[in-house]
C-alpha cells in the first residue's frame, strides 16, 4: 500500500522536473529505454530525501524498484541519510537492505551517490565480513556491483586506509568496462590527494597493467611534469 509520504515525495519530484535538465541528463546518464527520466536537479532530490528520511522500509523499496530514475535516486539517498545516524546492528541492517537491491542501483550516478555513504560507513567500522563483501561485489557480472565495490572504498580512503582500494585496482584493472576504469582512477586520485608519494610508487609498479583512462584520472592532481610522465608512458 502506497503511503501518503511516498505519494508526497513522488508528487514533489514531478513538481521539480525541468525539461532542459532532462535533456542534459539524458545525454550524461544515457539511461536504458525503459527508464523514465523527469529532469530533477540532484540538489532538489537530496533535499527531498532529507525531508523524507523517515519513509517506511516498504516505501524505500518501492522507490528503488521504480522505473523513474529520480525515484531510485531518492531511494538510495534516503538510505544514505539513515546511515549517517545509524550505528551497530542498524548499520548492518541498512547494508543488507542495500546489497539485496543493487540491481536497482543501475547507473553511475546512483552508485556514486550511495556506495561510499551507505556501504562505506559499515566497511569503515571494520567488520570481519567486509573484505568478503567487497570481493563478492568486485567479482559480480553486474557492472554496477563492481563500481559499488570500488566507490565504497572512498569511505576507507578518507580514514587513511588505502589497501582495500589498491587491492581492487589490481583485481579490476583488466575489467572490460570504461566506467570501472574511471572509478579506479577516481579512487587512486583520492589516495594521491592524501599521499602523493604512495600513489606515485603504486603507479610506477603497476603502470603497464592500468587502463589509460585510469592513469589519466589518477594523475590529475599530480604536478604537471609527473603527470605527463605517466600519461606518456602509458600511451606507448
Taking the CA of residue 101 as centre, how many other CA atoms within 13 Å lie in the half-sphere pointing to its CB?
27
Kindly report the pTM of this predicted structure: 0.95
Exposure of 174 by Cβ count < 10 A (0-12 exposed, 13-18 middle, 19+ buried)?
exposed
Cα–Cα distance measured from residue 159 to residue 174, given in angstroms and rounded to the nearest whole number: 27
**pLDDT confidence of residue 10:** 98
Helix (H, G, I), strand (E, B) or coil at 7: helix
Q: CB under 8 Å to 2, separation ≥6 — which residues? A: 59, 62
- Could you read off the pLDDT tens digit of each residue along the chain, which spans 236 residues? 568 999 999 999 999 999 999 999 999 999 888 899 999 999 999 999 999 999 999 999 999 999 999 999 999 999 999 999 998 899 999 999 999 999 999 999 999 999 999 999 999 998 778 899 999 999 999 999 999 999 999 999 999 999 999 999 999 999 999 999 999 999 999 999 999 999 999 999 999 999 999 999 999 999 999 999 999 998 76
**pLDDT confidence of residue 166:** 98
**pLDDT confidence of residue 207:** 96
Choose among 150, 190, 201: nearest CA to 172: 150
Total count of residues recorded for the chain: 236
**pLDDT confidence of residue 1:** 53
CB neighbourhood size of 193 (10 A): 12
Amino acid at each position: 500500500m502506497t503511503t501518503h509520504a511516498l505519494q508526497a515525495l513522488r508528487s514533489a519530484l514531478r513538481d521539480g522536473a525541468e525539461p532542459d535538465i532532462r535533456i542534459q541528463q539524458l545525454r550524461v546518464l544515457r539511461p536504458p529505454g525503459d527508464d523514465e527520466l523527469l529532469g530533477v536537479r540532484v540538489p532538489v532530490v537530496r533535499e527531498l530525501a532529507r525531508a523524507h528520511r523517515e519513509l517506511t522500509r516498504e516505501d524505500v523499496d518501492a522507490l528503488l524498484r521504480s522505473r523513474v530514475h529520480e525515484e531510485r535516486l531518492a531511494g538510495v539517498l534516503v538510505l544514505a541519510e539513515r546511515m549517517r545516524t545509524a550505528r551497530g546492528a542498524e548499520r548492518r541492517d541498512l547494508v543488507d537492505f542495500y546489497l539485496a537491491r543493487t540491481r536497482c542501483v543501475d547507473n553511475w550516478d546512483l552508485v556514486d551517490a550511495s556506495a561510499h555513504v551507505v556501504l562505506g560507513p559499515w566497511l569503515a567500522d571494520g567488520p570481519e565480513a567486509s573484505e568478503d563483501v567487497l570481493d563478492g561485489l568486485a567479482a559480480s557480472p553486474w557492472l554496477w556491483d563492481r563500481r559499488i565495490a570500488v566507490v565504497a572504498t572512498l569511505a576507507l580512503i578518507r580514514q587513511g586506509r588505502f589497501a582495500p582500494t589498491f587491492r581492487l585496482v589490481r583485481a579490476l584493472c583488466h575489467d572490460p568496462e570504461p566506467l570501472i576504469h574511471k572509478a579506479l582512477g577516481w579512487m587512486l586520485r583520492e589516495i594521491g590527494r592524501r599521499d602523493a608519494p604512495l600513489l606515485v610508487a603504486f603507479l610506477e609498479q603497476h603502470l603497464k597493467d592500468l587502463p589509460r583512462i585510469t592513469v589519466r584520472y589518477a594523475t590529475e592532481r599530480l604536478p604537471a611534469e609527473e603527470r605527463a610522465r605517466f600519461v606518456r608512458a602509458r600511451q606507448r
